[in-house]
Structure 1
Amino acid sequence: MTGDRARLEEERLRTVRRLADLRGDYRGFVEASKDSNADDEHDPEGTTIAFERSQVGALVRQAEAQLEEVDAALARLAAGRYGVCVDCGATIPAGRLEARPAAARCVACASTRR
């Protein structure tokens, strides 16, 4: 279990850092749009500030969801339920946990939830 905890803690740290970077990027887009009176919706040179802000906002939400998943996995580890599918109770294969340390479901249950 020590390896599992280390892998989850590493995943959590990586996600927290990514989230901090993304939030900084988002704040930058918000600040850029406040300081500019340019009509970026009609800029022929590329994407708009609003589009970029929307894209980064989506990435922030994804990182927040990932952090919640990692925290839930750490809670399952503390409760002795890590590596057990939350839907069917089957053991989650080690390879799946290695690839997705926060996985809460076995492959069969994860594929039916889509």
Structure 2
Amino acid sequence: MTGGAEADGSARERLLALRATTEARLAALGGTFEEVVAASEDTNADDEHDPEGATIGFERAQVVALTVSAQRTLDDVDAALERLADGTYGTCQSCGRPIAPARLAARPTATLCVDCAQRARR
């Protein structure tokens, strides 16, 4: 990554802040999931036939999806911290060019430059 130690320190701070936020979100989601499960155990709901059952099932699925997303973010942050440690952070994994600082500020876990990310989406 261009910019030296100061830029690396700033990137590390952003990544660690994102990691802390994501860990807190995961902890909250774990509690939410347990609350949804506990709420469904306290009722005599039949998910298949009871109109409320679909709501309970939806809530469980939503919490699971949010948990998977948060875990993926945590994995991405850890991978970015590894790239920072080995000196490859801020280098596009596709073309090898530097990733723009503005992109890294917006997406600290980015692995692709804007051009390569656009090509990957097509």
Residue 65 (structure 2) aligned to one of 39, 58, 61: 58
* Matches for 1:23-102 after TM superposition, within 5 Å: 23-39=30-46, 42-43=50-51, 48-102=55-109
The unaligned stretches of length 5 or more in structure 1 are none
Note the C-alpha offset of 1:111. Answer: 2.0
State how far apart, in whole Å, the 1-side matches of 2:29 and 2:54 are: 18
Aligned to 2:29: 22
Tell me the TM-score normalised to structure 1 length. Answer: 0.90
State how far apart, in whole Å, the 1-side matches of 2:77 and 2:114 are: 18
Note the C-alpha offset of 1:35. Answer: 2.3
Residue 17 (structure 2) aligned to one of 10, 26, 29: 10
The number of equivalent residue pairs is: 113
* Percent of aligned positions that are identical: 50
The unaligned stretches of length 5 or more in structure 2 are 1-7
